[in-house]
Amino acid sequence: MYFYAARQPILDKNKNLFAYELLFRDSIDNIFPDIDGDEATTKMIEASKFNMGIHEFTGNKPAFINFTLETLSKGYPTMLTNEEVVVEVLETVKPGKKLLALCKELHEKGYTLALDDYEHQAVWAHFYPYVKIIKIDVLETSIEEIKVIKEAIAAHPHIQLLAEKVETHEQYNQMVELGFEYFQGFFFSKPEMVKTKSLSPSQMAMAELLYETSKPDLDLANITAVFERDVSLSYKLLRYANSPIFRRRSEISTIKQALVILGSGELKRFLGLMFAANVNPNKPTELINMSMTRAKFCELVATKLGGQYDASIAFLTGLLSMIDAILDEDIESVLEKLPLAQEIKDTLLTRKGVMAALIKLVECVEHAEWSKTNIVIEKLHIDKEQLIECYNEALAWADEQAQQVT
């Protein structure tokens, strides 16, 4: 059984990763809520418990999972530990004595409870002692309604507010001012402002190396020379080449040795990750993680699709698809500064062509927009199960790599 789910990050007010919400679908062909919510949650628990551990999918962060009244009644939340799951009561569940008893029982067992898409009713006050998080859709809830909710929960300071569907930095800043603690949405994956700034010498060195490695034939002498001009970059290369993920029998001690042993493909991945992870250290780490996931996903899909796609170009294109957000600068200005292969620049600027289809595909999966995913799948002629396999592998790979390059 394949694990059909997208994970969406939940950040705290400092833009640090707090948790993930797992948006489950029975398969790409079934678009929620057209499928039964009880069945969806059941299969989520089954897959996460017996096929792929929650911690593998969320990098040991808590997983917000939706539960219906039926799945709560069957005790499904307790199939997962209270450390790995946040029990999210779906907005379709009506408040009543049965739900209250279930919430009290889970609270006593140490589970964290959240109310999804909260719409204020006085009856919910009975649940406040057992609820830790209230999720509010900022697109559907007015400022006045939010203030009413804040007043209602004022006597319960343990309750924290989570703003979901936050798509702009203006919304994020507004919700911070209103006292929200957590934020869900893709505001952090867009540029905060358009501004012009120069890249540091080390950043330019990485950009130069990206260009060198995007050529069909690598010039080892040129690449070695660039590394030798930057002590910090050389150190990171040697550290990466000697990292446990490669299980080397002997230590690598020179730049040339590292380049030869890593090989073209691994070198391109290393440089891309280094550039993304270090070009703007003030950006949320989850943004870099998403960039890494996109890179690996595009590489894996390109490989599955055969020789018509260059896997190395796909990797770099996926990685740099969020470079405007990483640098907080419009994409045109960014690409003017970076010496990249024209194929990559054209894809990022026009969003047309084969590589652009891979970017569109991963964006659809990230947002759990399965109907749009189907359209792109048909155009690319990729098997649906292979797609999910690539996405799951890319998530796991990005989580592992993040520990190596930072």
Alpha carbon of residue 53 to chain centroid: 17
pLDDT mean over 254-277:
79
Element (H, E) at 298: helix 285-305
Q: Tokens for 283?
A: 């950006």
pLDDT at 25: 56
Q: Is the peptide bond before 33 cis (omega within 30 degrees of 0)?
A: yes
pLDDT digits (tens, 9 = 90+) for 209-256: 877 776 767 788 888 888 888 877 888 888 888 777 676 667 777 888
Domains recognised in the chain with CATH numbers:
5-189 (3.20.20.450), 201-405 (1.10.3210.10)
Percent of residues in the chain assigned helix, strand, coil, to nearest 5: 55, 10, 35
Tell me the average pLDDT of the chain.
Answer: 82
Q: Which pLDDT band holds residue 33 (cuts at 50, 70, 90)?
A: very low
Residue pair 66/41 in contact (Cβ under 8 Å)? The answer is yes
3-state secondary structure of 135: strand
3-state secondary structure of 322: coil
Report whether pLDDT(173) > 90: yes
Q: Tokens for 262?
A: 């890593």
Please give the residue that has the higher pLDDT: either 136 or 78: 136
pLDDT digits (tens, 9 = 90+) for 51-102: 455 666 787 789 998 888 888 998 888 888 899 899 999 888 899 999 999 9
Which residues are paired to 240 by β-bridges?
A: none
Query: How many CB atoms are closer than 10 A to CB 95?
Result: 17
pLDDT at 204: 75
CA-wise closest residue to 188 among 336, 370, 405, 18 = 18
pLDDT at 108: 96
